[in-house]
Amino acid sequence: MSDPGHGGESLLFLTDEQLRKGIEAMFFAYRGFTADPDRILENLDYGRAHHRAMHFIHRSPGTTVNNLLNILGVTKQSLNRVLRTLIDDGLVESRIGKVDKRERHLFLTERGAELERQLSDAQRARMRAAYRAAGPQAVQGFRTVLESMMDPELKRQYLTLKEGGA
């Protein structure tokens, strides 16, 4: 309610019907959101989990396994399976930490970066089209609502990623 001068009328957007529409919009939109990368991945031997790992490694090069674990919200066994295939296939490089040698710092290799680019290009293209169709103000609202929907802990992580560089 950025505009407080509308009386009771401004609460119409909180009806169960409006909320249900929002829920279904999330459901259908998420399908579109993942459709393009999924199409690329199904030819290769990778899945959505590989895409997510590569995305965040690209985003924060040198991130540790534990870091990635927290961001992705899966168990280390689950992540490890994905990570191992990426490392074995030469898409990700794991370097032993210099200050703390127990840690592994993750980087995309040349080939890894190329696949990541291919995937995120596809995803960004759809995002760009949606943003363009909706306009800047809608995009602002889109992000505001999404941020409000996040769990506090996840939101914290999202905001940290948002600012903090590599």
Residues that bind a copy of itself (CB under 8 A): 1-3, 10, 12-14, 16, 18-33, 35, 52, 55, 59, 73, 120, 123-124, 126-151, 154-155, 157-158, 161-162
Restricted to residues 105-164, the positions that interact with DNA (CB under 7 A) are: none
Terminal CA-CA length for the chain: 36
Burial category of 99 from C-beta neighbours within 10 Å (exposed 0-12, middle 13-18, buried 19 and up): exposed
Restricted to residues 15-74, the positions that interact with DNA (CB under 7 A) are: 45-50, 52, 64-66, 69, 73-74
Q: Select the span of 76-84, 124-132, 141-149, 151-159 touching DNA (CB under 7 A).
A: 76-84
Nearest-10 crossing angle of helices 152-163, 65-72:
130
Beta strand ranges found along 7-158 (DSSP E) = 63-64, 92-96, 104-108
Alpha-carbon distances of 113 from 22, 57, 60, 99, rounded to whole Å: 35, 10, 12, 26
Toward DNA, which CB reaches closer, 100 or 163? 100
Toward a copy of itself, which CB reaches closer, 64 or 157? 157
The answer to whether 77 contacts DNA (rule: CB under 7 A) is yes
* Interface residues toward DNA, by CB under 7 A: 45-50, 52, 64-66, 69, 73-84, 94, 96, 99-104
